[in-house]
Amino acid sequence: MKFDVIVVLVFLHFGFCCARLAPILTACSRTDPEYEKCVKQAVERIRSNIAVGNYGEGQPSAPPLEPIYIDQMKIDHGASFQAVLSNVTIKGAGDFSIRRVRLALDEKMMYVSVDLPSMLVKGQYTLDMKLVLLKVTGQGDFELQLNNTIANMRLKYHLVADENGQDRVVMYPIPVKLRFNQGQFKLQNLFNGDPVLGEIGNNVINENPLVLLDEVKPAFEENLGRIFSEMADSAVSGATELEIFPL
């Protein structure tokens, strides 16, 4: 069970318990000259398990990656932008592919970058924003189609001695940085349901969707970071460094 592949698997939701590699997982040696290829092949073999959070008999169940659910996100950037997104469901994250993996053992760190080719985000919204010369307001259901999103993540841990003096792994919160490339919004009930103004509002937003995406990105990053941190913490905290990263 090698450090590099374990960190990638944990970070992307490939859980294991008490540093025990799940039977369905395949460890890739960090000395493998085709390491990234090995990791990608290992991911493909268990993609359906990742989606439902099932890693085989005898393994604890894990939260599913399909879909991701976020209860509520509040964004307040003053008079120019205020929004609340609630009951948010993200589908499509299970179709990720690994772009890059960089290991920094001396820093107790792993850097991971993944592609998210297509995600559909649904939920309810309230919105009050100034966009160019138009003040856009509304409350209702929304859909957001995201294409070619990139997520960059950093997984870092430290060691804490237990009551027996045994060093145990404790994960730091995981920062997530998103790069949106393409987005298409559909906001229902803009301008109190006025169909003409609603169509105008959606068209204005979708002429340059990155303006609205940049406003909500920090909230998405914070919530996804919290979710991934909980996954990693439940998966590896309490194990020894030697158990997770054998010599």
The answer to whether residue 136 sits within a structural domain is yes
Nearest to residue 169, comparing CAs of 228, 243, 231? 243
- Specify the pTM: 0.76
The CA radius of gyration of the chain, in Å to the nearest whole number, is 20
pLDDT (0 to 100) of residue 233? 67
Indicate the DSSP class of residue 57. T
The answer to whether residue 121 sits within a structural domain is yes
With b meaning 16 or more CB within 10 Å and e meaning fewer, what string describes 104-141?
eeeebebbbebebeebebebbbebebebeeeebbbbee
The answer to whether residue 4 sits within a structural domain is no
**What confidence tens digit (pLDDT) does each residue in 53-99 have?**
665 665 556 667 788 898 998 988 888 888 999 999 999 988 888 88
The answer to whether residue 29 sits within a structural domain is no
pLDDT (0 to 100) of residue 25? 55
The answer to whether residue 6 sits within a structural domain is no
The answer to whether residue 42 sits within a structural domain is no
The answer to whether residue 21 sits within a structural domain is no
What CATH code is carried by the domain that includes residue 167? 3.15.10.30
The answer to whether residue 195 sits within a structural domain is yes
Number of domains in the chain: 1
**What confidence tens digit (pLDDT) does each residue in 105-161 have?**
778 887 888 899 999 999 999 999 887 777 888 999 999 999 999 999 998 888 888
Q: Is the pLDDT of residue 35 over 80?
A: no
The whole domain housing 221 covers 66-238
